[in-house]
């Protein structure tokens, strides 16, 4: 009798309209149910039956209902799908193609729309790029994707690299231009410095050598440093096809065991590279350094030149010789003298920076070694004295370039870092007081005060305090107008020493040349800054993703199965500990259930980076703890560890 009753239909409509709605992001779990995260404090349960309508990461509007005395979510409207363009693994069933997205907690098998040729192109286990074209919340009966591109076959050893690059829509090959015969595009006058004893110091396998240095002592304890930088803009016209490609890439993409160059290798590793005894055009800078280690700002000179590097040296060779270990010796007396002078300058500048700026603490880097037969190994690399010699030389050059650009143009591509914003500065002050370190907000938000804080923290040498302070710091960025770099301790900083690898340095080259040659400078806008910044971020994420993939393969090797590792706690999340294995640099996660038997007795404080058990602090960020590998999840490239008791 109530069938098609208009009064009943109106009643249902009114009840539906009064049902509260919430907006948030879907977070799925391995057990089929999920949560709708509204903000950092609020989330609502999504039952398994309702999770079938959405995917992890979808931004949706949903009805908030009560079911069995519990608040639950019923998805209603899709605001933004998590999947649009994505990568995944092909599954072939009954002559039909499906794709499984390669994302954690997103393992739905999605039907593919395709033409008949795809059945021959794609095989089970292959990797592909796809686009989501149908979504259940849009009224479609099922999720569906369109295959766009095949990435790589299932057995190819390059899967970690090619899949990662495809996921982030990054180039997988060096740039290609129709005319790869590169000739000088400039006729500017250049100084002939080919007789000077320029040397290069790099890793032994470096092919794209972009900096050479020469030094002489102008008076007791005073030096003149000449930095010569490869000049790709002499071969690449502004606005040309190759220039646009370089702008789109913005950087050479350095991945573990592989690099994708910003410029064609013919340019970056041959024509422009400052190879030993090769006649090369350069953009150069001569800088005088005074007895106290400061830069004489009145004597900075930028000019174009020709050089011939007299020797290609490696960090290992030079460091061993300075440390009086190993058998290597400089090939000539004049090169020996260059190394000795550079060493003295390095020590002088480090002393100056320790008093007036920010001096870096020695760090450890981890590098993958990949054998021809596919075996993975990890090598620890420490910053040695030769690394510091080049580092100090390049810092001198970049500080000088920033001052030169500011003086003559007032713009360029500057590297900036703003230290703390006011809110974070207040949190820093409160935190430091607990350790009897007394500063003011006004003090640490100034460049001078920030440098003082960093120097005090270096003396205190407490890694827990350092880690907490770093959480409050701003991120580094690019700017087209001068600005301070708190992280380095300089009023302005602009890199120009890696133009083979960074488009921002190519831009600064062109600006410096316009000053030298008294020409109209190219104009910059905010779009350039945002593009370079975004590309840098994508490259870093890709590097991390490949590393995670290789670590899951590396730690599955037999010798690591039952081994005890020392791990440094790097972060505390809401339900576990993140740590880095000191021996090889792998990041692992220790869930609460593998940390303490009774989860109710555990309290994870993410903001303070601490873990309490029964009200007593047991672990904190920077602690070193013994762990063993509990599980390796290859599909999500995650490594689960447990505490070794």
Q: How far apart are CA 119 and CA 115, in angstroms?
A: 8
Q: ∠ CA 500-503-508 to the nearest 5 degrees?
A: 95
Directed axis angle between helix 315-322 and helix 333-356, to 10°? 80
Q: How far apart are the first and last CA of the chain?
A: 71
Q: ∠ CA 250-383-309 to the nearest 5 degrees?
A: 65
Non-local CB neighbours of 617 within 8 Å, separated by 6+ positions = 610, 611
State the DSSP code for 360: P
CB atoms within 10 A of CB 295: 19
Q: How far apart are CA 226 and CA 302, in angstroms?
A: 10
Do 609 and 464 touch, CB atoms closer than 8 A? yes
> In DSSP terms, which residues pair with 625 in a beta bridge?
567
List the alpha helices (DSSP H) in 441-489.
441-444, 447-460, 463-472
Q: From residue 484, give the alpha-carbon distance in Å to each of 58, 231, 435, 575.
A: 39, 27, 28, 38
Q: How far apart are CA 36 and CA 71, in angstroms?
A: 11
Q: Strands 576-581, 638-643: parallel, antiparallel or unpaired by DSSP?
A: unpaired
List the alpha helices (DSSP H) in 224-299.
241-249, 265-266
Q: How far apart are CA 43 and CA 361, in angstroms?
A: 41
Q: How far apart are CA 144 and CA 146, in angstroms?
A: 7
Q: What tokens appear for 355 in the block?
A: 């008093």
Q: How far apart are CA 554 and CA 584, in angstroms?
A: 10
- 3-class SS at 224? strand
Q: How far apart are CA 320 and CA 318, in angstroms?
A: 6
Catalytic residues: 202, 208, 210-211, 315, 501
Q: Among 615, 406, 638, which Cα is nearest to 508's? A: 406
Q: How far apart are CA 398 and CA 400, in angstroms?
A: 5
> In DSSP terms, which residues pair with 129 in a beta bridge?
87, 149
Q: How far apart are CA 86 and CA 106, in angstroms?
A: 11
Buried/exposed code over 141-150 (b: 16+ C-beta within 10 A; e: otherwise): eebbbebeeb
Q: How far apart are CA 565 and CA 620, in angstroms?
A: 18
């Amino acid at each position: 009798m109530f069938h098609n009753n208009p009064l009943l239909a109106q009643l249902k409509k009114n009840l539906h309209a009064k049902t509260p709605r919430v907006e948030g992001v879907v977070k799925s779990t391995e057990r089929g149910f999920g949560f709708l995260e509204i903000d950092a404090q609020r989330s609502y349960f999504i039952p398994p039956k309702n999770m079938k309508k959405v995917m992890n990461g979808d931004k949706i509007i949903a009805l908030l209902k009560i079911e069995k005395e519990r608040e639950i979510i019923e998805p209603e409207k899709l605001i933004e799908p998590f999947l649009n363009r994505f990568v995944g693994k092909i599954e072939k069933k009954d002559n039909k193609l499906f794709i499984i997205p390669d994302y954690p907690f997103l393992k739905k098998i999605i039907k593919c729309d395709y033409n008949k040729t795809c059945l021959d192109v794609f095989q089970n286990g292959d990797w592909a790029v796809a686009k989501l074209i149908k979504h259940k919340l849009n009224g479609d009966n099922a999720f569906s994707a369109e295959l766009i591109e095949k990435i790589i076959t299932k057995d190819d050893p390059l899967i970690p690299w090619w899949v990662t690059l495809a996921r982030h829509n990054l180039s997988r090959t060096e740039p290609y231009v129709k005319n790869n015969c590169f000739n000088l595009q400039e006729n500017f006058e250049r100084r002939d410095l080919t007789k000077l004893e320029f040397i290069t110091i790099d890793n032994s396998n470096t092919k794209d050598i972009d900096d050479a240095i020469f030094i002489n002592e102008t008076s007791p304890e005073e030096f003149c440093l000449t930095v010569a930088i490869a000049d790709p803009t002499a071969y690449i016209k502004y606005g040309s096809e190759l220039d646009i490609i370089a702008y789109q890439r913005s950087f050479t993409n350095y991945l573990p065991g592989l690099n994708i160059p910003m410029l064609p290798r013919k340019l970056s590793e041959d024509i422009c590279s400052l190879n030993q005894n090769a006649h090369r055009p350069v953009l150069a800078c001569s800088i005088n350094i005074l007895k106290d280690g400061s830069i004489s700002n009145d004597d900075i000179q930028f000019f174009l030149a020709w050089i011939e590097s007299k020797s290609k040296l490696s960090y290992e060779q030079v460091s061993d010789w300075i440390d009086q270990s190993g058998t290597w010796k400089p090939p000539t007396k004049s090169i020996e003298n260059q190394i000795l002078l550079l060493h003295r300058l390095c020590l002088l500048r480090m002393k100056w920076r320790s008093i007036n700026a920010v001096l870096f603490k020695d760090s450890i880097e981890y590098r993958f070694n990949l054998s021809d037969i596919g075996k993975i190994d990890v090598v620890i690399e420490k910053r040695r004295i030769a690394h510091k010699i080049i580092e100090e030389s390049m810092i001198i050059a970049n500080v000088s370039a920033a001052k030169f650009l500011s003086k003559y143009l007032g713009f360029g591509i500057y590297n900036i870092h703003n230290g703390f914003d006011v809110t974070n500065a207040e949190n820093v002050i409160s935190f430091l007081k607990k350790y009897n370190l007394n500063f003011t907000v006004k003090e640490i938000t100034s460049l001078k005060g920030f440098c003082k804080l960093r120097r005090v923290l270096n003396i205190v040498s407490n890694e827990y305090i350092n880690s907490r302070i770093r959480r409050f710091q701003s991120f580094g960025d690019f700017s087209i107008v001068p600005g301070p770099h708190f992280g380095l301790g300089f009023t302005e900083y602009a890199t120009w020493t890696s133009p083979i690898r960074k488009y921002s340095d190519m831009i600064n080259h062109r600006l410096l040349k316009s000053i030298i040659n008294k020409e109209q400078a190219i104009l910059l806008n905010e779009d350039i800054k945002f593009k370079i910044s975004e590309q840098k971020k994508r490259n870093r994420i890709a590097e991390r993703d490949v590393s995670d993939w290789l670590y899951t393969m590396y730690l599955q090797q037999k010798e690591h199965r039952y081994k005890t590792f020392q791990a440094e706690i790097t972060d505390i999340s809401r339900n576990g500990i993140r740590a880095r294995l000191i021996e090889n640099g792998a990041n692992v996660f220790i869930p609460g259930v593998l940390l303490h038997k009774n989860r109710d007795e555990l309290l994870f404080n993410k903001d303070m980076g601490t873990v309490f058990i029964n009200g007593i602090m047991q672990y904190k960020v920077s602690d070193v703890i013994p762990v063993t590998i509990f599980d390796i999840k290859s599909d999500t490239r995650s490594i689960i560890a447990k505490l070794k008791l």
